[in-house]
Structure 1
Amino acid sequence: MSAMSSLESSSNQEKKIYDETQAVVGSAHADPETQAKVEQVYDPSQESIWTRLGLNFESYKRAPGSTRGQIVHGTAAPELVGQENPLLQQKMKPRHLQMIAVGGSIGTGLFVGSGSALASGGPAGVLIAWIIMGVMLINVTQALGEMAILYPVSGGFYTLASRMLDPSFAFAMGWNYVFQWAVVLPLEITVAGTTVQYWTDQVPLAAWITLFFVVIIRLLLTGQIASIFGTLGYAEEEFWSSCLKLVVVVMFIFIGIICICGGGPSGGEYDQYIGGRYWQDPGALANGFKGVCSVFVTAAFSFAGTELVGLAATETPDPRKTMPSAVKNTFWRITLIYITSLTIIGLAIPFNDPDLFDGSGADISPFVIVIDRAGIRGLNHLINVTICISVLSIGLSCVYAGSRTLTALAETGYAPKMFTYIDKAGRPLASVCAILIFAPLAYINVADVGSAVFDWLVALSGLSTLFTWLAICVTHIRFRKAWKVQGHSVEELPFTALGGAWGSWLGAGLIVLVLIAQFYIAVWPVGGSEGGTAAAEAFFISYLAAPVLILFWVIGYAWKRTLPRKAMDIDLDTGRKSWYTVEEMRQYRAHRRTAPLYVRIYRMLFSSS
């Protein structure tokens, strides 16, 4: 039997096992309530197209039972039944997942936050911080890809952390992740408002905040633009906005190279060769070692959202086919988008440039500064429009990520049951509304203390992202341990992380070092401290997420009294989608090795394993 036909036969066997499981799981292993939930199968494809797209009132009704969009095995504990067959529907296409991976997190951190990072750390400090975070992130996404492809369960890494580590810790991580995106939402709305003020300051910031908030609410209520908070709507919005962001960033890279080499318009600042002048004067590092440490949290904030690929795996029909390429493209995003554009910014603008300190929003964006000084008419407006669309796109990602995680928390009993409400269009409406409640926090920026709010929100969300990535690495380490102890081979995995468990150890180690560096900056901030209240405020601005996470962990333990499971007791069956044997996988990979060399190189760099 050929490798391909063997896998096809195995897939048919999966379906047979699934049908048998559906028939017996309730009576044999579950209480009556769980049995009824499993046996009630809801097929969303039987609904009208208007309902599936969320374009009529019927779509807002609760979806009954569970869908059977995923083939799963094993007998789930009652609280994990929702993760076996989530009501969130598998609508995402490969192109959606690709763009979520490549352009999903390009927003405020790169377009705006890189300016303050350059002022604090200098061009070398920025590159050091982003490269270290990039190496760490590659290992995180590889680990996440390996687990998400094998277990495309509702709640993604939160659910896996609950299973592989400890429900109390997962409770803390899940709520920390929800609040991370809840506070980033008002931040993004505020940045969108300040971005528009680039063209005119005659309209108050509060008016722009209200406008953008109303636009988001209207999209939710009317279901326009393909139901923006449903799976398909979010995916389409992210695809097209990511395309625009990538085009503009690549355009900026080419223009930046020309300007640095002295090819800018005559009479502009870049009509003569600059090269590495600003690395010598004023220098490569703005504040020495402290400056480098201070940039890490901004780098983490700029990469926030990369882990959304793991959440999206639940809403993808065939994650084994589409996820590997999305995971691998993370490397190219880091290399080509972040590192290249940040290198150009460090060469084109000195870290002590007054424009990096004066103004807000797009006024301090190094992208806008470079184009303004190059004297290229109209392009600065295109970049500004892109910044505005980018921050709104990240704002929508806040609702997507926060609502999906909150729904998973409710499904596992760690949040009120009202948040399990999912309508017939596959939208977790109650969870979406809960995240939107935080949007009015943007009005705080209208007050005199508004400038300080940005620092608080960035610091909270940045460290929260680090804790999430650390949890993913540790979860993967525990998964590999359980996989080995329970007699499985790595060859059974449909996708293996590039560095294996050692890659996760490296990623976790780098995250711990970054957390230590951030603690150092929190205690001894750049520029010194006046002591007393000012020192305490500076510490909590830098490290607020840590005590918040610990508080949630204590609450989770006091509530459920759970302890970490032994590797032998970890459930490796519930929600598992790939059940191929070692021999079948060897045949499959041997078949793929017969492809031409250029095809194998493409697969290794961009496509599936």
Structure 2
Amino acid sequence: MDEKNSVAEPNTVQATAASPPSYGDLNSIRDSFGQRFLDSFKRDTNVHVTCGNVSNTDGTGFDVEQAAQNTAHSPLQRRLKGRTGLFVGSGVVLNTGGPASVVIAYVLIGVMLYCTVHALGEMAVLFPVAGSFSHYSTRFLDPAWGFAMGWNYALGWLIVLPLEIVAASITIEYWSPGISNAAWVAVFWALIVSINLFGVRGYGEAEFVFSVIKVVAVVGFIILAIVINCGGGPERGYISGKYWHNPGAFYNNFKGLYSVFINAAFAFGGTELVGLAAAETANPRKSLPIAIKQVFWRITFFYVVSLTLVGLLVRYNDERLIHKSSSANTHASLFVIAIENAGIKVLPSIMNVVIMISVLSVGSSSVYSSSRTLAALAEQGQAPQFLAYIDRKGRPLCAVYVASAIGLLCFLAASDEQITAFGWMMAISGLSSIFTWGSICLSHIRFRRAWKVQGHSVDDLPFKSQPGIIGSWIGFIFNCLVLIAQFWVGFAPIGYAEMSASDLAYNFFSVYLAAPVVLAFYIIYKIWFRTNFVRCHQVDLNYGRRDLHIQHLISQEKVDQAALPAWKKFYKLFC
């Protein structure tokens, strides 16, 4: 073999026990690793996605079929295993509506999200394509609405990154007050960016570790809360439900309940990431249904049960809640306050560590979700073409760089204008999850209609939404109610009679600015490309499907499931 060929095939260098490598061979191995590392950042040459060209042949309108092909053939790596699970802690809402409002609101939003995630799961298992949320809106509703939803979702997560980094730096103040936030901001930014540069595997493994810590902490808190409530705390006796009587179960009347309803919706943000990960999951037909079914337990235990217990242990008028600090502020965390009230000295610091891990987890998820959404938009011709660059390791490298660069806004934490800056950033992204969930439910309704019109049966689906079409209608209506409630609370907030006109205007746009931004994206794109609403008989139900050649396997699985004993069928229903 000549010298040229030996250089072209560096991976042929081998070392055996009988013949140890020479120093020259070791240098070749090092060079090979370094070259492979550098080559991994190059564009994947094995894929041929035509980016940015999704216009009709006459140069007008939007070619939905071409967009479907691009996202279906996205070169994102499918190495994400069934480890990814996300839990985003709820904010301080007890002071807004009282403990009964918290329980009612979280149960209702939990029902809505349960229906929404199942609708998403049905579509994601059948069409595990890149940028699921915006793609489903483009494919089943209207390309203009898909464009608006894609940028709405991307902007929402792009803004979350600097916010969560600042929140993590605030958490550190619990142990090291007086140290500049900028130092911790730099550390956390570098950590989150590094996790995402390891690709989908790095993100998945990091999220697995984060999730295990958070699950153990929440289960431990539930057990501890029951013990404290029954009189097991060192400084308080039997508590039971006395705080529901004094100061009371409700606060601020019906508007307090509506406000908590909105906060509960925001607290669940990120649960839909299970669908976004579909395109990078090794076997979505196996892993996604399990992850989706587990949402029931997350909603039940991590939100409803834990917050019900918190409402039994903390008064809604506790002085530490009066300022309504951010949920990231550990001094206003309901979990920390409940433990401190019991007189337990060590656990508050442990809970603060968990809160910091939760915040970093959300920050990592923000880079992952925003970069994948931007790449999918670019593949559909709805974002700059360079964002569709995906390297040989399946990383949307340019999109990750853009998300990381916007994350540098976290250094505003050291600015005197940080409150104003972050307030307006939150306003732009505040309704992102609500629009996303509503679009998912409506897309599922249209998908089921198209599936039926084109002669398919629901029995042909590899995974069926447990609440079905009725659940999607429930989810869609609930999301509309949240938008109405947010408009009302923004227009006439609690205590609005004592506010000036300028304060009222600022309050409204600070909580509802996202709505006109979404409408602007939609209307401009609609007029520019003259897109049409997608008709049911026009929906392409083939591109991107992974079950086209495995119907016999699906049929056999259904036969096997029918033969299971009753107890195992019940177990499979939720697990």
Deviation at 1:566, TM superposition (A): 1.0
Deviation at 1:146, TM superposition (A): 0.4
Pairing 1:106–2:82 present: no
Which residue of the other structure, out of 215, 229, 232, is the alignment partner of 1:260? 229
2:435 paired residue number: 467
Pairing 1:329–2:259 present: no
> Secondary structure at 1:64's aligned position in 2?
coil
Structure 1 pair 262/387, CA: closer, same or farther in 2 (3 Å)? Answer: same
Count of aligned pairs:
532
- Paired with 2:518 and 2:480, the residues of 1 have a C-alpha distance of 15
- Paired with 2:262 and 2:256, the residues of 1 have a C-alpha distance of 11
Code of the aligned partner of 2:412: I
In the alignment, is the contact (CA less than 8 A) between 1:301 and 1:458 conserved in 2?
A: no
- Paired with 1:510 and 1:372, the residues of 2 have a C-alpha distance of 36
TM-score calculated relative to the size of structure 2: 0.87
> Secondary structure at 2:431's aligned position in 1?
helix
Which residue of the other structure, out of 16, 30, 38, is the alignment partner of 1:57? 38
Residue deviations 1:427-476 (CA, integer Å, cap 9, x gap): 10100111122223223344445445565555544411000000000000
Structure 1 pair 352/411, CA: closer, same or farther in 2 (3 Å)? Answer: same
Structure 1 pair 525/589, CA: closer, same or farther in 2 (3 Å)? Answer: same
Which residue of the other structure, out of 74, 78, 81, is the alignment partner of 2:69? 81
Pairing 1:143–2:108 present: no
2:149 paired residue number: 173
Pairing 1:300–2:269 present: no
In the alignment, is the contact (CA less than 8 A) between 1:76 and 1:84 conserved in 2?
A: no
Code of the aligned partner of 2:37: N
In the alignment, is the contact (CA less than 8 A) between 2:148 and 2:521 conserved in 1?
A: yes
Which residue of the other structure, out of 307, 325, 347, is the alignment partner of 2:312? 347
Which residue of the other structure, out of 541, 544, 547, is the alignment partner of 2:510? 541
Deviation at 1:424, TM superposition (A): 1.1
- Paired with 1:583 and 1:432, the residues of 2 have a C-alpha distance of 39
Pairing 1:320–2:285 present: yes
2:344 paired residue number: 376
Deviation at 1:52, TM superposition (A): 11
- Paired with 2:187 and 2:161, the residues of 1 have a C-alpha distance of 14
- Paired with 2:341 and 2:320, the residues of 1 have a C-alpha distance of 11
- Paired with 2:427 and 2:316, the residues of 1 have a C-alpha distance of 21
- Paired with 1:374 and 1:54, the residues of 2 have a C-alpha distance of 58
Pairing 1:134–2:122 present: no
2:275 paired residue number: 310
Deviation at 1:296, TM superposition (A): 2.7
The residue correspondences of 1:508-587 to structure 2 (distance < 5 A) are 508-529=476-497, 530-579=499-548
In the alignment, is the contact (CA less than 8 A) between 1:105 and 1:304 conserved in 2?
A: no
2:131 paired residue number: 155
Deviation at 1:587, TM superposition (A): 5.3
Deviating more after overlay: 553-562 vs 187-196:
553-562
Gaps of 5+ in 1: 1-44, 69-74
In the alignment, is the contact (CA less than 8 A) between 1:91 and 1:231 conserved in 2?
A: yes
Deviation at 1:238, TM superposition (A): 0.5
Structure 1 pair 158/570, CA: closer, same or farther in 2 (3 Å)? Answer: same
Deviation at 1:55, TM superposition (A): 8.1
The residue correspondences of 1:157-306 to structure 2 (distance < 5 A) are 157-219=133-195, 227=198, 230-265=199-234, 268=235, 271-306=236-271
In the alignment, is the contact (CA less than 8 A) between 2:428 and 2:517 conserved in 1?
A: no
In the alignment, is the contact (CA less than 8 A) between 2:195 and 2:206 conserved in 1?
A: no
In the alignment, is the contact (CA less than 8 A) between 1:106 and 1:302 conserved in 2?
A: yes
Deviation at 1:377, TM superposition (A): 2.9
Structure 1 pair 559/49, CA: closer, same or farther in 2 (3 Å)? Answer: farther
Code of the aligned partner of 1:493: L
In the alignment, is the contact (CA less than 8 A) between 1:140 and 1:472 conserved in 2?
A: yes
Code of the aligned partner of 1:533: S
Residue deviations 1:479-501 (CA, integer Å, cap 9, x gap): 01101111111111111111211
Deviation at 1:597, TM superposition (A): 2.7
Deviation at 1:158, TM superposition (A): 1.5
- Paired with 1:497 and 1:144, the residues of 2 have a C-alpha distance of 8
Residue deviations 1:133-158 (CA, integer Å, cap 9, x gap): 11100110010000000111111121
Residue deviations 1:228-280 (CA, integer Å, cap 9, x gap): xx111100000010000010011111111111111102xx2xx2111111111
Structure 1 pair 587/442, CA: closer, same or farther in 2 (3 Å)? Answer: closer
2:560 paired residue number: 591
Deviation at 1:556, TM superposition (A): 1.6
1:603 paired residue number: 572
In the alignment, is the contact (CA less than 8 A) between 1:348 and 1:370 conserved in 2?
A: yes
Structure 1 pair 52/518, CA: closer, same or farther in 2 (3 Å)? Answer: farther
TM-score calculated relative to the size of structure 1: 0.83
Deviation at 1:589, TM superposition (A): 1.9
In the alignment, is the contact (CA less than 8 A) between 1:298 and 1:458 conserved in 2?
A: no
Structure 1 pair 217/541, CA: closer, same or farther in 2 (3 Å)? Answer: same
Which residue of the other structure, out of 106, 110, 118, is the alignment partner of 2:94? 118
Structure 1 pair 441/419, CA: closer, same or farther in 2 (3 Å)? Answer: same
Residue deviations 1:286-306 (CA, integer Å, cap 9, x gap): 211111111233212211111
Structure 1 pair 54/187, CA: closer, same or farther in 2 (3 Å)? Answer: farther
Which residue of the other structure, out of 365, 382, 385, is the alignment partner of 1:414? 382
Gaps of 5+ in 2: 1-10, 13-28, 50-62
1:3 paired residue number: none
- Paired with 2:255 and 2:127, the residues of 1 have a C-alpha distance of 41
